[in-house]
Structure formats: C-alpha cells, structure tokens
Amino acid sequence: MTDLGYIALILALVLALYGTVVSVLGGRRNLPELVASGRNAVYVVSGLVVLAAGLLWYALFTDQFQLEYVVTHTERSLPTLFKFSALWGGQAGSLTFWTLLLCGYAVAATWFFRKQQPSQKPYVNAVLLLSIAFFASVVLFAANPFERLWRTAAGQVVTSVFQPGGATPLIPADGQGLNPQLQNYWMVIHPIGLYLGFIGMTVPFAYAVAALVTGQLGNTWITLMRKWALVPWLFLTLGILLGSQWAYVELGWGGYWAWDPVENASFLPWLTATAFIHSMMIQERRGMLKVWNMALIGITWELTLFGTFLTRSGVVESVHAFALSPIGPMFALFITATSLGFLGLMVWRRQALHGDNELDAVLSRETSFLTQNVTFLLIMFATLLGTLFRPISEWVTGNKISLNAPYFQKVNGPIFLFLLVLMGVAPLLAWRRSRPETLRRNFAIPVAVGLLIVPLAYLLGNRSAGGFVGFAVLAFVFAGIVQEYVRGVRARRQATGEPLPAALFNLVKRNGRRYGGYIVHVGILLIALGIIGNEFYQSEGQANLKQGESVTVANYTLTYRKLEASQGPNYTEYTAMLDMTRNGQPAGQVLPKKNVYDKNQEQPMTEVGLRPGLIEDVYVVLAGFEGMGTTVSLKVFINPLMSWMWVGGLVIVLGVLVSAWPRKKPVATEVRVTVPKAAQTA
C-alpha cells in the first residue's frame, strides 16, 4: 500500500509538469482545449497528492514500522493526536503536508475563479502547478517519506523505496518516538497555521504573475486578491502567535519570542504581507503603488520559500530546525530562478506599472501608507540581517558571530514604535491632502489622550521610560480608533435615527473593510500591550527549596509542598505542588511539571506551571529536583499583561472576519415618477 503512495507522487509530478506546459501553451495560443486540460490537471494532481498524504497518515496511525519515516517519528504508545501531527513532525512528512495544502489552495482558487479573468487563468494554473511540481520533486528525490528499511547481506541497514538486491525487509518492533518538543497540543495546530499562511500566498503571487504576463495591470487582479491575501495573512498571524504560546508554556524561559532564526523565518513574510495588504488599498482607490504591490507580493512569496529553506537547509542552527538534508540546494535553485523570472516580468512591464496618480501632499493618507511600507521593509531587512549574520560572518571571516535578542530589540524596537505611530496617524489623515483644520479636528483628542496617559501611569507607580512611551503611543492609537467609531455612529444616527446598538451594528456591516480593519488594529494594540508588559515589567527569581520552604517574587509567595510522579502513555510526569499567596492572601496552587519520555529520557521537557490573569501571569518552571523531591529547583516569573497578547489574537480574527465577510451588492431598483401633464405636453 505504501508503494501506491510513492506511485501517486510520481504521477502527480508528471501531471503537474504536463499541466504547466499545456496551460501556458493554451494561454499563448488561445486554445480552450489546452486551457481546460491544464485546469483539469489541477484537480487530478491534487487527488493524487491527497491519496499519497492519506496513505502516509494511515502508515503513521497503524505503526507501519517498515517505513523509515514512521519508525523515526512515532512509537506504539504515542497518543493518536501526536500520530496525526507526526505527518509534519519530520522533514519528509512536513514537505508532503506542504504539498497537500498547496493542492488545496490550488483547487480552491481554480474553482472559485473558474468564470473570472479567463485570459489570466491559464497562467495562474501554470504557476500553481509548477509550485506543486517543485514540492513533489523535493519529496520524491530529496525527502521521500515512503522509503523502507532493508538489511543487506552484509548486515547493513539501508533505506530505499524498492528492495535492493540481496536485501531483506527490516521491520522494527517499535519506533523511536516523536521529538518530545513536538508532543504538545500547540505543536499540533501551530504548524498548520504557519503552513496555511505560507502556502496561501501562492495564490496572489500566481495572479500577479498572470497579470504581468497578460499585461492586465489595472486594479482587477488586486481587487480579486484582497481576500486571498487577507486570509493567509490571518493564518500566518495566528501561526506565529500559537508558536509564541508554545514557546511560552513549553520551553520554560519565561518569554514568548527569542528572535530565533526559525521564528524570524515566519516573521519575515508576515512583515511584507502586511505591507502588501495596506498597499493594495492605495491601488484600489487611487491606482497608485503598482510597482510596490508587485514587488511586495513577489518578495512575500519568495520569503515563504526562503523560510522553508532556512528551516531545512542547515544554514542556521535552531531548536526548531530540521536536520541537515539535500533539499537546501533544490530550494536555493528554485528561489533564484523564480526571483529572476518575476523580476524579469516586472522589468518587461515597467511602463504599464506606472501609477495612474501621484502623491499630492506629504500630509495625506497615501503618503502615510507608503511610509508604512518602507518601515515594514526596514524591519524586514534588519531582521534578515540579524538572522543571517552568523553564516555570513563565518563565510567572510571564518568566525561564527551571532546577533541575538538584544540586537533585534535595540534595532527593531524603535522602528516598531514608529510603525505603531503610523498606524494611528494614517486613519486620521485625509486622502490626497490634509488641510490644517482637518488635522486639528482629527488629532486633538488622540494626542491629548496619549499625553495624559503619561502622568496617569506615573501616579499608578510606573517608573519605566520605555513603558511610558509605549503606553502613550498605544493610548494615542486607540483613542484615534474610538474617535472614528464615535463619529461614524453619530453620523449614522443623525441620518437614520437608529438607536445606538443598531447604528453601530449597521455601520460595521455596511463598511466592513474600514471598521474591520480598525478591529484588527485593536488586536495589534493588545499584542503590543502584552509585549510592553513582558519587556518592561517582568519580575523573576529562582530558588532551591526543600519541603515547606518558600520563595517570594514581587507580591507572590510560593511554598513547596511535595513532588508527585505519575505515568503517562509514553512518559513519566513529575509534578511539584506549590501553594501560592498574593499579598499574604491564599491564591491557590501552581503545578509546574517535568516530563521524562520513555524513548528520549535524555531530553526531559518542561511543562510550565501557569496561572494566567488579565493583570499578570504567575509562571513557574520546575528546573530540576533531587531524589524524589527532597529538593526542587524553581524559576519564577511574574509576567504582567501577557494574557492580552493572546486576547489580541482573537480580536484580530474578529476583525478579519468583519473585513472579509461577503456583502451583497446594492441591487438597482426601478423608480416610478409621476410626470405632470403640463410637462408631458411641453
């Protein structure tokens, strides 16, 4: 049965290449039969990939240990949930999963746009099929999940899809188990979010290529792609946040983001995708920034590939990265070829990419959006430099020099602050030109609120300069958003006489893009609030405690009672029982844990004892213990405002749903007018 999966991938590769060729020929020669054949190839190829991925999942669930991938990523006692996620727990399986999701996007795009832009569809299908062909070839020739274990006549263990001469099948009694770091529920959903975000950017990229090839560079492709860029952006945002939550509860260092190279690899395309989504609005409204939009979607798509290359090539070292493999050169070649091809198309169509209008004034919404684009790219380049500094320094000087979290915080921190200011400024500026009276009317209240928050924070005991600045900026941006809602609701009530709740609901319903975007901005502010709390107000302490002893951090006291051991399905769990008081008052228990896995005893995993709250999190790590708990080593962190980061993610989901929710187009109605007789005879 596993041979069938391998054959399905081979057929998928052949048909994807065939579909690419016939789609291009059909588009160039205007041959509907070839175009239809290319479209059908998308469906057939996707069906074959679904078959291959389904068979690999079946092998994981049923412990088919004759497969090298199954034996190295599962075991008989592995819980079913983690057997499901083992598909993306290793190199070969994750690339198979990537190909599967790419096929899903290709089928969705082919179906939804089957009656739109017929001249562009062949080239869209060609790009989608070429991308599928590339990933299928990587899976087949560099990271094949269907390779079996064989024992040669000389006693060596080898892997091959088909039986080598003189070799006999090798079927181990049990597998080696999944990496303990991946046996966490956040690691079941975090990669799915990232992949849906990464892969989803292929669709707008394909339409950008089609627009360049056909020369149809107006606003139509941008309008069609707005939701197809927004939804992957949402998945990418959630994937990053879910990964941060995994790092927060699993790695046990008190934080959520370490500027690790693989973390950065997911962050880079998020920056350019965010810039693209904002820039699209300018092209839709004013016919401007056409070059920017083409460049941004091209860079975003290439960065999704680059992130995959970083994760799997061995160029960077990370706890998240896969082992060194031969796929690095294949990705490098594909990235180079597609980048040069896309750049060549842009140069070819450079005359048609000129904007329909130019910037009218510095103080305008268009200029603000353009400045945001530049700022996003500055952060992207600074992050890329910091990520690649180690391999670059080794190549140039022979010494491995890494730029760690302090570099990113000192460089990116001020730029992000400026970006937040721009996020608050842009909605308050008028299109084309902002007159002095408009500036006074729109900025007076937000600026006043931002300034008033500083003495208020001081009176509440805030003594951090960074916190002062951060809270002031957040207050300024939030006040501007509230002001926009208040003015919109007031205008609607005056026009319709609706009560306040109905006016607010109908305002958002009729102007979902605008007010949904404001909701997304509120979510970003809440994430920034959590970051400020963690960066500027975190308290920490550590202690070695015997039973009955206590440690105090900030206004919390933790008293160690005992250590309990229990057996999980494939691990032993050690739980430290800690009583907690806050300002001397009982506040429940905290239960930090450490799991020792049967197949990976040298890699015990931390399970943080976490008591989340809207004001602060109590975060306790069981760093180690002696004997059966006579002494435990604890690390304690008090993380203010961290819960608002995760609340911000939920608010972003709400904002995207409001912004992308389909709306009925206004229906023209016949109006009958009675014409006076005098007018009829005139």
Residue-wise DSSP of 193-241: HHHHHHHHTHHHHHHHHHHHHHT--SSHHHHHHHHHHHHHHHHHHHHHH
**CA dist., res. 144 & res. 135, Å (int):** 11
- State which amino acid sits at residue 207: Y
- Answer yes or no: do 653 and 504 share one domain: yes
Q: Is residue 554 part of a domain?
A: yes
Q: Is 513 exposed, middle or buried (0-12, 13-18, 19+ CB in 10 A)?
A: middle
Contact 217, 288 (CB under 8 A): no
Contact 595, 571 (CB under 8 A): yes
- Answer yes or no: do 507 and 652 share one domain: yes
pLDDT in the model for residue 677: 47
pLDDT in the model for residue 668: 41
The answer, yes or no, to whether residue 519 has pLDDT greater than 60, is yes
Q: Is residue 9 part of a domain?
A: yes
Give the pLDDT mean for 235-261. Answer: 91
Q: Which residue has the higher pLDDT, 100 or 670?
A: 100
Give the domain range for residue 65: 1-147
- pLDDT tens sequence across 126-159: 999 999 999 999 999 999 999 999 999 888 999 9
- Answer yes or no: do 648 and 504 share one domain: yes
The answer, yes or no, to whether residue 679 has pLDDT greater than 80, is no
- State which amino acid sits at residue 387: T
Q: Is residue 120 part of a domain?
A: yes
- Answer yes or no: do 608 and 648 share one domain: no
- Closest Cα partner for 517 from 277, 299, 337? 277
**CA dist., res. 596 & res. 280, Å (int):** 50
pLDDT in the model for residue 548: 93
- Answer yes or no: do 126 and 25 share one domain: yes
- pLDDT tens sequence across 41-65: 999 999 999 999 999 999 999 999 9
Total structural domains in the chain?
Answer: 3
Q: Is residue 612 part of a domain?
A: yes
- Answer yes or no: do 485 and 587 share one domain: no
Give the pLDDT mean for 218-237. Answer: 91
- Answer yes or no: do 92 and 15 share one domain: yes
Beta-ladder partners of 566: 573
**CA dist., res. 173 & res. 75, Å (int):** 9
High-pLDDT (> 90) share of the chain, %: 71
DSSP state of 364: S
- Answer yes or no: do 542 and 650 share one domain: no
- Answer yes or no: do 550 and 454 share one domain: no
Contact 621, 634 (CB under 8 A): yes
**CA dist., res. 161 & res. 158, Å (int):** 10
Residue 465's alpha-carbon distances to 410, 472, 538, 640, in angstroms, are: 15, 11, 15, 16
Give the SS3 label for residue 359.
coil
Give the pLDDT mean for 166-186. Answer: 92
Band the pLDDT of 665: cuts 50, 70, 90. Answer: low
- State which amino acid sits at residue 25: L
**CA dist., res. 550 & res. 581, Å (int):** 10
Give the pLDDT mean for 536-540. Answer: 92
Band the pLDDT of 602: cuts 50, 70, 90. Answer: confident
**CA dist., res. 27 & res. 10, Å (int):** 26
Give the pLDDT mean for 509-534. Answer: 93
Q: Is residue 435 part of a domain?
A: yes
pLDDT in the model for residue 321: 47
Q: Which residue has the higher pLDDT, 403 or 500?
A: 500
Contact 533, 644 (CB under 8 A): yes
Q: Is residue 588 part of a domain?
A: yes
pTM (predicted TM-score): 0.92
- pLDDT tens sequence across 506-515: 999 888 889 9
pLDDT in the model for residue 664: 65
**CA dist., res. 462 & res. 485, Å (int):** 30
From 87, 118, 147, give the residue that closes a domain. Answer: 147
**CA dist., res. 126 & res. 132, Å (int):** 10
- State which amino acid sits at residue 142: A
Q: Is residue 381 part of a domain?
A: no
- Answer yes or no: do 480 and 527 share one domain: yes
The answer, yes or no, to whether residue 669 has pLDDT greater than 60, is no
**CA dist., res. 264 & res. 267, Å (int):** 5
- pLDDT tens sequence across 260-279: 888 899 999 999 999 999 99
Distance, CA of 249 to chain centre: 19
- Closest Cα partner for 334 from 41, 97, 133? 133
Q: Is residue 322 part of a domain?
A: no
Contact 276, 301 (CB under 8 A): no
Name the residue with tokens 């009560």.
499
Tally Cβ neighbours within 10 Å of residue 344: 11
Which own/partner pairs from 74-79 qualify as long-range (CB within 8 Å, at least 24 positions apart)? Answer: 74/175, 74/177, 74/178, 75/174, 75/175, 75/176, 75/177, 75/178, 75/570, 75/599, 76/174, 76/175, 77/569, 77/570, 77/598, 78/175, 78/177, 78/178, 78/183, 78/569, 78/570, 79/183, 79/569, 79/570
Tally Cβ neighbours within 10 Å of residue 17: 18
pLDDT in the model for residue 325: 61
Q: Which secondary structure element, helix H or strand E, spans residue 551, and what is its range? A: strand 550-553
Band the pLDDT of 314: cuts 50, 70, 90. Answer: low
Give the pLDDT mean for 313-324. Answer: 55
Assign residue 48 a region (left: φ > 0; alpha: ψ between -120 and 50; beta: otherwise): alpha
Assign residue 608 a region (left: φ > 0; alpha: ψ between -120 and 50; beta: otherwise): beta
Token reading at 534: 């963690």
pLDDT in the model for residue 666: 46
What Rg do the C-alpha atoms of the chain give, in angstroms? Answer: 28
- pLDDT tens sequence across 346-374: 999 999 888 778 877 888 888 898 999 99
**CA dist., res. 354 & res. 456, Å (int):** 49
Contact 427, 482 (CB under 8 A): no
Band the pLDDT of 318: cuts 50, 70, 90. Answer: low
From 117, 147, 177, give the residue that closes a domain. Answer: 147
Give the strand pairing for 585-590 and 593-597. unpaired
pLDDT in the model for residue 628: 84
From 147, 166, 182, give the residue that closes a domain. Answer: 147
Contact 135, 46 (CB under 8 A): no
pLDDT in the model for residue 682: 37
- Answer yes or no: do 577 and 499 share one domain: no
Average pLDDT, the chain: 90
The answer, yes or no, to whether residue 571 has pLDDT greater than 80, is yes
The answer, yes or no, to whether residue 317 has pLDDT greater than 70, is no
Which own/partner pairs from 480-486 qualify as long-range (CB within 8 Å, at least 24 positions apart)? Answer: 480/424, 480/425, 480/427, 480/428, 480/442, 480/446, 481/424, 481/427, 481/518, 481/521, 481/522, 483/442, 483/445, 483/446, 484/427, 484/515, 484/518, 485/515, 485/518
- Answer yes or no: do 491 and 546 share one domain: no
- Closest Cα partner for 221 from 212, 208, 203, 205? 208
The answer, yes or no, to whether residue 384 has pLDDT greater than 70, is yes
DSSP structure string for 118-139: TTTHHHHHHHHHHHHHHHHHHH
**CA dist., res. 272 & res. 493, Å (int):** 39
